[in-house]
Homo-oligomer: A and B are copies of this chain.
């Protein structure tokens, strides 16, 4: 059973924990979970991102979705990625496409999704949720080891073995509904579900407007272009 496909949510009162960063992908994921009838609780993990813009975007999106949320500060001295802290220099321009096949981008953060999914698993079991949603995507960030289907599969197996829910009742399922979608398909899906993309934030930098230069900005722009839609965040910034 592939982890990517969201199983029917027969019990309309099922709870789900959503890992919400405030970006385009995780915001769309929240709205997908909501559309399946889950009672959603968003986990907003503050792990020392370069700017707080992401956190406030996540809060705005959770509110718009009518999702309860928790902001959890992870005081962890992560090294090894320029996405964390102010020390490293961010890569400018498109680097994703320049990496050799199977290579890992310099923006990789050690075991990030493992830590985030672990928190989600603990939270899910604590509140009796039956599902976890993560906006991992294997196409745009094919280099990240913890954004691939085999990794999500493996975490599902771990969740079954490592919890009371998994051993004694029903395992908590991890869903990554965007994992094999292109950015433009994600955006099309999100627009249908009413995702407020003007509230989301993708840029690696925390300025007033998106820089338009980093990987994330470039992927987002291309996504909206291919989806044949205007990015409401840029529309708003123009005004």
Q: Measuring CB to CB, which residues of chain A are less than 8 angstroms from any residue of chain B? A: 70, 72-80, 102, 104, 108-115, 117-119, 121-123, 125-127, 145-146, 148, 150-151, 154-155, 157-159, 161-164, 166-168
Q: Which residues of B contact A126 (CB under 8 A)?
A: 77-80, 110
User: Is the Cβ of A112 less than 8 Å from the Cβ of B122?
Assistant: yes
- Taken together, the copies of this chain in the complex come to 2
**What's the least CB distance linking A23 to chain B, in Å?**
20
21 contacts between A and B (CB under 8 A): A70-B77, A72-B76, A73-B75, A75-B75, A76-B123, A78-B122, A79-B127, A80-B126, A108-B164, A109-B122, A110-B121, A110-B122, A111-B121, A114-B121, A114-B159, A115-B115, A145-B163, A145-B164, A146-B161, A154-B157, A154-B161
- A123 / chain B contacts, CB cutoff of 8 Å: 76
Provide the bound-state CA to CA distance between A151 and B155, in Å.
11
**B-chain residues with CB within 8 Å of residue A112 when the two chains form the complex:** 122
CB-CB nearest in chain B for A166: B145
Give the complex CA separation of A145 and B159 in angstroms. 10
- Residues A122 and B111 in contact, CB atoms below 8 Å apart: yes
Chain B nearest CB from A185 CB (Å) reads: 25
